[in-house]
Structure 1
């Protein structure tokens, strides 16, 4: 009975993790690269570097917007993204007859270093990892659900692997790698050792991946668990004849900082129509919350702070939504936690490959033995 149960768990472990190894490995590898997407962008694209040899102070965001509008006179700026200090600010804009563009603006010199009308490296890696570049139709992508489903596979492989590997905790105190007993034994030892030392990482990736799946299901079923920016009412609009906002972005940023002095703005959304507002979001004094966890919404007509949003005001689902990304991508501790996530991402990718090799060799051997047994039976019968 025990042998039967062990065989069942082994087969379940194999079918959970190995037949889909190609997709699983692709998700792991792209996610590992996405962890360092900002750093790789800095390394490979000189125009993305915010060089500051004269140690200048960062310019105000409205100055960067004016620099883009001077470069592209008909640009309608919608968003400004503030990245790490060593990367340029990304100013998103649209023009007539052209696809949406991104201007790389050095926040220290005010120079527009590149105009990008295509998919940049950061967006490409996040899209490849997040939904395998499957198309989106009506806010729905098969690729997104396929990637999220890998969290179920990962969690199932983790549970069945621990059931199969008896006394797995010994791998922490007495790791065993047999180098002189053939390739199969070496692969098995490496696979088991990597799995045990990656338990925390596998569990973390599984849980955050499951959250992304739940989040998509909630979105597509119109369950509103996220904070929507307010819309101006008719009474809050200016009198007839006034065409442009009279409250500047500089003043809106000051209002936001007065609400949350600890906030570091990372997302600045411009009003897109006459009833829209300034949307200013950033990170705060907690490393576990993402860069959109503190938000202030300001009227472009009166300068009134219409609403605020912070971790203290979040519901349970909103809290999970804002802590999932730092835990999934390892951004909560800067470059050092990114390096740890990158290392374990490589280990996880390697586990998917070694697991497939082990499963493949056993499958081939079992098929060969079955063929030989059938041939022997036929000889006896004949």
Structure 2
């Protein structure tokens, strides 16, 4: 009975990896690359680097927009994104000959270093990893469901693996990888060692993946996690056509007065006269993403129409804003990114070694045994 039980768990463990191993491995690899997509962008694209040899202070967001307008006078700016200090700011805009474009503007020199009409590498990798570029329709994407459903695969592989390898803690105190006992033993040792040391990582990937799945279901059923952006009421619109709205820098300054140590990361400009400045950013909390602090600023009155911070979030909003830092390892900057990247490589490798081990097991099970061959010979 014990053998049957162990065989059952082994087969279940294998089926958590074998049927979907290609998709699972692909998602692991793209996620691993996404973790260091900012750093890879800096390494491979010189136009995305925010060089600052003269140690100049960072210019205001309005000054960066003005730099773009000088080169593209008819540009209609929609939003401004800030990444790492070593990467340029990205200004999203439209123009008469550009239905959608991104300008890379150096925040220290104000220079427009490049204008692209294609998706950035960072956005490409996140999209590929998150929903496989499946289209969104009616609030859902099949790709997003497929990717987030891999949380069950990760969790199932973790649980069944721990059941099979009951004394898993020995891999911590007596690690062993046998290189001289054949490929089967080597694969088993590599898979076991990687699995044991990745228990914490697989648990985080499983839990955050389950949250992404729950989030997808809520989006699909029109359950709002974040409040809709407010608009300026008709009564607050200026009566004179010559009235001037406050500029972006003033709106950012108002937000900084609202939150201490606020750093803007994503800014949406008003789309029409009833639109507001939507300003999002990071604060002094490490477990929240770069959009945990936000305000909606009335451009005509300078009033804060709505605001959000970790202290005022609902439970669902909190989960939404802590999932990405845990999933992509941004909680501690470059050092945690390196750790997440290394364990992402291990998890990707485990999906491959697991497939190889299980496929060898299936091939061996299909081969005729010596007894069967002898019996057949005697019968003839």
TM-score (norm 1): 0.96
Shift of 1:231: 1.8
Shift of 1:377: 6.1
Counterpart for residue 201 of structure 1: 201
Counterpart for residue 183 of structure 2: 183
Counterpart for residue 10 of structure 2: 10
Instruction: Provide the rounded CA distance (Å) in 1 between the counterparts of 2:323 and 2:123.
Output: 18
Instruction: Assess if the C-alpha contact under 8 Å between 2:246 and 2:302 holds in 1.
Output: yes
- Per-residue CA deviations over 1:166-204 (Å, capped at 9, x if unaligned) read 211111111122222111011101100110000000000
Counterpart for residue 345 of structure 2: 346
| Cα distance change, pair 276–183 in 1 and its aligned pair in 2 (3 A) | same
Instruction: Provide the rounded CA distance (Å) in 1 between the counterparts of 2:92 and 2:243.
Output: 20
Instruction: Provide the rounded CA distance (Å) in 2 between the counterparts of 1:188 and 1:244.
Output: 72
Counterpart for residue 296 of structure 2: 297
Q: Structure 1: state its 5+ residue gaps.
A: none
Instruction: Provide the rounded CA distance (Å) in 2 between the counterparts of 1:373 and 1:82.
Output: 69
Counterpart for residue 95 of structure 1: 95
Shift of 1:19: 2.0
Is the counterpart of residue 122 in structure 1 residue 104 in structure 2? no
Instruction: Provide the rounded CA distance (Å) in 2 between the counterparts of 1:238 and 1:64.
Output: 27
Instruction: Assess if the C-alpha contact under 8 Å between 2:9 and 2:160 holds in 1.
Output: yes
| Cα distance change, pair 373–270 in 1 and its aligned pair in 2 (3 A) | farther
Instruction: Assess if the C-alpha contact under 8 Å between 2:286 and 2:331 holds in 1.
Output: yes
Q: Structure 2: state its 5+ residue gaps.
A: none
Shift of 1:65: 0.6
Instruction: Provide the rounded CA distance (Å) in 1 between the counterparts of 2:133 and 2:26.
Output: 12
Instruction: Provide the rounded CA distance (Å) in 1 between the counterparts of 2:89 and 2:224.
Output: 31
Equivalent positions of 1:94-173 (< 5 A) are 94-173=94-173
Equivalent positions of 1:202-351 (< 5 A) are 202-239=202-239, 242=241, 245-351=244-350
Shift of 1:140: 2.5
Instruction: Provide the rounded CA distance (Å) in 1 between the counterparts of 2:50 and 2:10.
Output: 52
Q: How many residues align?
A: 380
Instruction: Assess if the C-alpha contact under 8 Å between 2:139 and 2:222 holds in 1.
Output: no
| Cα distance change, pair 373–363 in 1 and its aligned pair in 2 (3 A) | farther
Shift of 1:98: 2.7
| Cα distance change, pair 245–355 in 1 and its aligned pair in 2 (3 A) | farther
Shift of 1:253: 1.1
Instruction: Assess if the C-alpha contact under 8 Å between 2:191 and 2:353 holds in 1.
Output: yes
- Please state whether the residue corresponding to 1:267 is helix, strand or coil: strand
| Cα distance change, pair 93–172 in 1 and its aligned pair in 2 (3 A) | same
Shift of 1:135: 2.5
Instruction: Provide the rounded CA distance (Å) in 2 between the counterparts of 1:367 and 1:274.
Output: 71
TM-score (norm 2): 0.96
Counterpart for residue 36 of structure 1: 36
Instruction: Provide the rounded CA distance (Å) in 1 between the counterparts of 2:2 and 2:356.
Output: 26
Instruction: Assess if the C-alpha contact under 8 Å between 2:140 and 2:219 holds in 1.
Output: no
Shift of 1:270: 0.2
| Cα distance change, pair 50–134 in 1 and its aligned pair in 2 (3 A) | same
Instruction: Provide the rounded CA distance (Å) in 2 between the counterparts of 1:300 and 1:69.
Output: 20
Counterpart for residue 357 of structure 2: 358
Shift of 1:162: 0.4
